[in-house]
Amino acid sequence: MTFPLEIVTPERIAFTDQVEMVVVPTKVGNIGILPRHISLFAQLTEGILKIKKHQEEYYLSIGGGFIEVAKDKTIVLVTRAVKSTELNEQDILKAKQAAEVALKQKPMGAALTTYKTLYRQSLIDLKLLRRRKQRIH
């Protein structure tokens, strides 16, 4: 049994298909959604989203956002959603290093928020990339 899942960012529809399960990160831990789940609206945190489809598992690095589980569809609205296959280790390491350098300068206000977010996203992306590499070997 499956249900329709759509993952949407401000830039694109990152994923849309029938799935068996999705696991999303929240402030209180991960929530697993299966077919016929009760209606739900929850805030999501940055982290790794897991999709199970046709006995395969797929992972995305996501930014914060929301999930809405309705009777006929589940929608995930997030600031970013990057599939593990889209990640490039060199780019992630450069972004992480740039964020570390910027944070050492003790930025204020919006700049501080931007660099902290970039740093956290880099750590999540690296974790997901390493998880993918472990599954390949």
9 and 65, same domain (yes or no): yes
79 sits in the region (left: phi over 0; alpha: psi -120 to 50; else beta) called alpha
109 and 56, same domain (yes or no): no
Question: What band does 107 get if pLDDT is binned at 50, 70 and 90?
Answer: confident
The whole model's pTM is what?
A: 0.87
| Interatomic CA distance for residues 38 and 103, integer angstroms | 42
72 and 61, same domain (yes or no): yes
Q: Minimal CA–CA distance to 122: which of 63, 77, 51?
A: 63
Query: Tens of pLDDT along 63-87?
Result: 999 999 999 999 999 999 999 889 9
13 and 57, same domain (yes or no): yes
Q: In what order do the strands lie in the sheet with 21-26?
A: 29-33, 21-26, 47-53, 56-62, 81-83
CATH number at residue 54: 2.60.15.10
